[in-house]
Structure 1
Amino acid sequence: MFSGLTRRGLLSGGAIMSGLLLSGGRARADAPPGAIEYPVQPDPTKEQGRLILDDGGYGSRSQFESEIRWRYPTDSLDSSWSMTPLASGHGIITPSGLHFERHHGGIPTIDPATHTLIIHGLVDKPLRLTMADLRRMPSVSRIHFIECSGNGLTEWEKPTLKTVQGTHGLTSTSEWTGVLLSTVLKEAGIQDSAAWILAEGSDAAVMTRSVPIDVAMNDAILAYAQNGEALRPEQGYPLRLLLPGLEGNTHIKWLRRLEVSDKPFMTREETSKYTDLMPDGTARLFTLEMDAKSVITFPSGAMKLPRPGFYEISGLAWSGRGKIVKVEVSADGGKTWTEAALQEPVLNKSHTRFRMPWIWDGNEAVLQSRCTDETGYVQPTLPELVRVRGTKSVYHLNAIQSWHVAANGEVTNVHA
């Protein structure tokens, strides 16, 4: 109703006729990704439904759901990123198949039976652990967000992308299961001089990042499962490093090596990349924590409200420093603010869903949200952020997002 005509809407009128032209039980090939297209039953109470396990035994989503990740149009197909359709989400958990991706050298295919993790450097007992070794260790399951520090990189100087998937889609929340990194490091016996760890992946880019030892010994996880099943290949199968609250590039996928050192390793990804160039030409290094951020996902860009009346404004807020404690919403471009309700559960370093009732009177409006985390940090406006950071860097944009609602109900991305 709000996003305009879709492929499903255009085809729905002929769905029954199309179904009648198919022989029973055979699926069409043009279903959305992740779905199987079956003939629509004119009256499902008058005939048996399809057979159990007819989809092969793994399961598929409804053929009437068509949300997919959207790839930002970079020149390279193996060094690119795809974005989560936040406007279609419910609650706080991102389906594994819609979790955003960022790749620097394609997606490797790795046999877990031969994959190992090496821990060496400033440790008393270097280790080589198989996946079977890791699964035998005490496990934890935690719900956390991951956000690419380049989330919103197109939006610093002018509103560019049209939808919330384009402006904010490089963040997702999942339940992650694995072994606390501290468990493995204690087993290896880290030495007193240890201050940093180099994490290295098994992809063609051999992605490497330095991680402070206090972060590694806190809540870092060697994750082998996501949302109740093994990691997907694009999420690092069979093993990834999860660093709750830190920028996504540090969550090394296809993890194969951890080297303990007394200093950071100054890799490419933390010197020429993933650093914040300041107005005076200096660069901030190791800006690891993701600052508090929020965005309204409904209504949001490229939607159209059909008529004045009651709507529920909804969105997501998150912080790399802990829990979200407050979200405020404005319908007049920040002149006045009203506190929104936070939907339970409100978790540490996780997406938090907020909601607020709104009566749209049919006049122009500018919708904004701003959040506060448990440290007292308040999400800044874009001018406030630019005054400190300038516009020479594309990373760590956490400014307030504005959506303009026109008198005809059309919603667009604006700077306000």
Structure 2
Amino acid sequence: MTTAGRLRKAPENFIDREGVAQVVAEARGGRRGFIRSAFAAAAAGLALPALRAQGVAPADGDPNILQLPEHATGLGQAVATDGYGKPSKHEANVQRRRSPGLTQTPQSSVSFAPLQSLFGIVTPSGLHFERHHQGWWDIDPSKHRFMVNGMVKSPQVFTMDELMRLPAVSRFHFIECGANTGMEWGNVAVPTCQYTHGMLSCSEFTGVPLVSLLEMAGADLANGKFVLAEGGDGSSMTRTIPMSVVKSGEVLVAYGQNGEMLRPENGYPLRLVVPGVQGVSWVKYLRRVEVGDQPYGTKDETVHYIDLMPDGQHRQYTSIQECKSVVTTPSGGQVLLDKGFYSISGLAWSGRSKVKRVDVSVDGGRNWRTARLESPVMSKCLTRFSIDWVWDGKPAIIQSRATDETGYVQPNYRQLRTVRGSRSIYHNNAIQSWLVEENGEVKNVQVG
């Protein structure tokens, strides 16, 4: 019988502003020493308590079994002690995190979801990644208005109450920042899954299809080829969205997330949901949609969120998030404490369709096995996959490769860089590799 192996969690807050600058300098110089030392310093403080907690039971028996704990002998907390439930104090370290050196100001920055600590496909609202351009606000919904104008017969202004009286739908979708994994374009830059892929989350969103609101305003859906979505925060975030996407019925003017109202950090009281499209188009604090007959070419789609190609030109309006996957366990910063059985688990997604298949390799891509896709498998939604693995204590390189229903296969770094180069920021969907060393440490590497 194969013995199940034990795994130590990844360290948190591995790096500060100075550390990020040094990582970038080391990466450009082709050196990895700092990454190793940063990981080692963060992991050292966790090693002894973890080994004690997971160590072999004493010869006279495990006191956690032989002695009744306090919670088995007395009264617990009263009902509604907390009017809004919160996680256990023992899970306090599972948090979204920011990298202090990534941006100059925390209001125009990003926080990363702890993918390595989550289960299933739904991201708890309190752990959903953030990307703000001017900070977040808690807007009074009674004063918020949503306007529809442009190529329409009757411009409309909706209050929140009016929107929430209309027929609504609820759908599960992922949202991924276009810059997710962007730090890895040129070299290995960060050690854990939270920082390589954590600008990704998945929720059930509730709202009104945008096309329904356009129809109420008498929009010219034949000649109006695009809509402009505008946010209500200080950055006045604006994005052009093709009318063909809107007419599909998938785009929502959403007020609900995971069974409750949106969180302020996620756009309360109103945001746009554009399934499969990069997160910047999911405009938060949504206040206006304008119908037009040509792309609007705003600053957020001409200067930012464009792809620098090898020939020096930029690709514009590259919105779709291509098929992608990542192994979350085992992943960077974690430590395999034993030889034996492990369940390799991860997430796959595609901005075009359902995920059809995920293959997993433990030898750097030489051999592949097809993983199990856990139900439900939905279009433009995260899909959880898993596969059994027995670690023999030798070095291994774990990878996942996703294929969607269109037949698109997730590329490796060599394939992606051949087409896109290595100087971009956005749309890195290359295969992620995790090196398991003989001592069980898991590190971020690039193969291919």
1:6 Cα offset (Å): 5.1
Contact 1:8 1:64 in 2 (8 A): no
Other-structure match for 1:261: 292
1:76-96 per-residue CA deviation (whole Å, 9 max, x = no partner) reads: 010000000000010000000
TM-score, length-scaled by structure 1: 0.91
1:109 Cα offset (Å): 2.6
Other-structure match for 2:427: 396
Other-structure match for 2:206: 177
1:136-170 per-residue CA deviation (whole Å, 9 max, x = no partner) reads: 11000000000000001110111110100000000
**Does residue 103 of the first structure (1) align with residue 129 of the second (2)?**
no
**Does residue 114 of the first structure (1) align with residue 152 of the second (2)?**
no
CA distance in 1, matches of 2:380, 2:140: 31
Contact 1:146 1:173 in 2 (8 A): yes
Contact 1:199 1:255 in 2 (8 A): yes
Equivalent position amino acid for 1:96 in 2: S
Other-structure match for 2:243: 213
Relative to total residues, which structure has the larger helix share, 1 or 2? 2
Other-structure match for 1:61: 87
Other-structure match for 1:2: 8
Q: Which moved more, 1:231-240 or 1:105-114?
A: 105-114
Other-structure match for 1:131: 160
CA RMSD after TM alignment: 1.6
Equivalent position amino acid for 1:102 in 2: R
Aligned residues: 387
CA distance in 2, matches of 1:217, 1:72: 38
Contact 1:146 1:244 in 2 (8 A): yes
User: 2:419 aligns to what SS in structure 1?
Assistant: helix
Equivalent position amino acid for 2:298 in 1: T
Q: Extract unaligned runs of 5+ from structure 2.
A: 1-6, 10-42, 54-67
Contact 1:108 1:204 in 2 (8 A): no
**Does residue 161 of the first structure (1) align with residue 187 of the second (2)?**
no
For residue 122 of structure 2, the aligned residue among 93, 117, 120 is 93
CA distance in 2, matches of 1:197, 1:45: 60
CA distance in 2, matches of 1:111, 1:105: 18
Equivalent position amino acid for 1:355 in 2: S
Other-structure match for 1:372: 403
1:406 Cα offset (Å): 0.3
Other-structure match for 1:71: 98
1:392 Cα offset (Å): 2.3
CA distance in 2, matches of 1:226, 1:9: 37
CA distance in 1, matches of 2:8, 2:372: 23
**Does residue 330 of the first structure (1) align with residue 361 of the second (2)?**
yes
Q: Which moved more, 1:212-221 or 1:96-105?
A: 212-221
Q: Which moved more, 1:69-78 or 1:236-245?
A: 69-78
Equivalent position amino acid for 2:439 in 1: N
For residue 313 of structure 2, the aligned residue among 282, 287, 293 is 282
1:282 Cα offset (Å): 1.5
1:124 Cα offset (Å): 1.1
CA distance in 1, matches of 2:210, 2:159: 15
1:51 Cα offset (Å): 1.1
Contact 1:151 1:395 in 2 (8 A): yes
Other-structure match for 1:49: 76
Equivalent position amino acid for 1:63 in 2: K
User: 1:214 aligns to what SS in structure 2?
Assistant: helix
Relative to 1, partners in 2 of residues 1:408 and 1:8: Cα closer, same or farther, differing over 3 Å? closer
1:45 Cα offset (Å): 2.2
1:114 Cα offset (Å): 1.0
User: 1:60 aligns to what SS in structure 2?
Assistant: coil
Contact 1:200 1:207 in 2 (8 A): yes
1:38-79 per-residue CA deviation (whole Å, 9 max, x = no partner) reads: xxx942221111111112x11111111120001122220100
Contact 2:186 2:423 in 1 (8 A): no
Q: Which moved more, 1:314-323 or 1:278-287?
A: 278-287
1:344-399 per-residue CA deviation (whole Å, 9 max, x = no partner) reads: 00011000000000011110000000000000000000110000001221100000
User: 2:158 aligns to what SS in structure 1?
Assistant: strand
CA distance in 2, matches of 1:332, 1:46: 50
Other-structure match for 1:362: 393
Contact 2:400 2:432 in 1 (8 A): yes
TM-score, length-scaled by structure 2: 0.84
CA distance in 1, matches of 2:174, 2:269: 19
